[in-house]
Chains A and B, each alone.
Chain A
């Protein structure tokens, strides 16, 4: 399938998934009963799964579009866009640090468990999602008063987001079949 069409479809699917399904899942892990509520976010995975050789400015523009779309659905005016831009900007650096070869050598490939291995992929997505969650939740609460609950929120939300990311990866990427 054409790589542009494929990524466009993925954009739509991920936004719909985030807005209509995950936004209705409210969590209150690690908080007192009937306590703080928050959502898992998986939409940054769209940026994480773009092909290796995507230039940074394309990543930034796509990240901004993605963030603003999610913002429009959630009435958060720019908060998601802000966090997603950071992910898009740092993605290339993180990949460079994690991959053994130069990124331009991976032609027509996208970051996946298949060509990265489980641990590097989880480090890559976990680190960028952590940055995303820190930026988003700090902008959302915009104060240092509730610092403890804020950390709880970031941690618990990150764990749940990562679970959904792993499920997404297992469901939507082709696995290599290995037989003993």
Chain B
């Protein structure tokens, strides 16, 4: 017993070092999955308050640019409203499209599926392997884990950690989540990020017979339960033919400028719970 205590005293520093490193690795391992717990995250209240103070100080600088994006968004929304006012005024969403069904026996009016909340970005990163954005809305304002987040120009990410007043969003600049995406003609595939460039996304292994041009838009699909359909992800910047398997590889420029995000919209999908229950039914049997 005496020897044991002596050994511990002799190697106390090494044991403490290894012990603390193990704690670190447990924290890292927890955070590497989408379901991981938020033990240490910027959604913490104290850190959220600190970031908010910083944002209050510096956000004046970008006001002009923000005005421009809001104006252009207003123009786009106005156009959309003009299209829809004659069709259906019950909808309060821009994402959901009006039914243009020629079959008159099926007459369904769908009410709004989505609810929008605005939020101010108080912390933002573009240089990590998984990038997080902290916003000043939390569970108090109805934010729930898993909600989709868009900016005025395109897709941003999904809510991952929530505290009372703040939430942190895993942006699509991340190797943890892939986004199901489609081209104009309906071919779908998921986008991947190459962990390096905040201005480049890729879509790999597109069939070679597809005619894809520079500047084609890429939208989200309705297949996943997280993101609403038809939100702009980005535009094709380059089409490349991989020699190895003769398939096309697309490089996209994201529609959202992740470097100067200031305001985002958090989207609550009102039908998500019902859909999840329905889709889990066959798995139970």
Contacts and interface: CB of A to CB of B under 8 A. Distances in A.
A56 B15 CA distance: 11
B17 A89 contact: yes
B12 A57 contact: yes
A61 B126 CA distance: 30
A149 B50 CA distance: 33
A17 interface: no
Interface stretch (B36-44, B77-85, B99-107, B204-212): B36-44
A78 B28 contact: yes
B53 to A, nearest CB: 9
Contacts of A26: 126-127
Interface string A39-62: 100000000000000001100110
A136 B168 CA distance: 22
A37 interface: yes
B126 A37 contact: yes
A38 interface: yes
Contacts of A117: none
Contacts of B125: 23, 74-75
B21 interface: yes
A35 B200 CA distance: 9
Given A20-B54, A37-B127, A68-B40, A81 B24 contact: yes
A60 B40 contact: no
Given A68-B40, A78-B40, A79-B28, A85 B17 contact: yes
Contacts, number: 100
B94 interface: no
Interface string A128-167: 0000000000011110001001000000000000000000
B21 A85 contact: yes
B128 interface: yes
A34 B198 CA distance: 8
Given A20-B54, A82-B21, A85-B20, A72 B40 contact: yes
Interface string A56-96: 11001100100110011111111101100110010000000
B195 A146 contact: yes
Closest 5 pairs between A and B when the two form their complex, measured CB to CB: A78-B27, A77-B31, A37-B127, A82-B24, A78-B24
17 contacts: A34-B200, A35-B197, A36-B197, A37-B198, A38-B127, A57-B16, A60-B17, A72-B44, A73-B123, A75-B134, A77-B36, A77-B40, A78-B31, A79-B24, A82-B24, A139-B28, A149-B196
Interface of B: 12-13, 16-17, 20-21, 23-28, 30-31, 36, 39-42, 44, 47, 50-51, 54, 123, 125-129, 132, 134, 168, 195-200
Given A37-B127, A149-B196, 10 more contacts: A60-B16, A72-B44, A73-B47, A77-B31, A77-B36, A78-B26, A81-B20, A82-B28, A140-B128, A142-B129
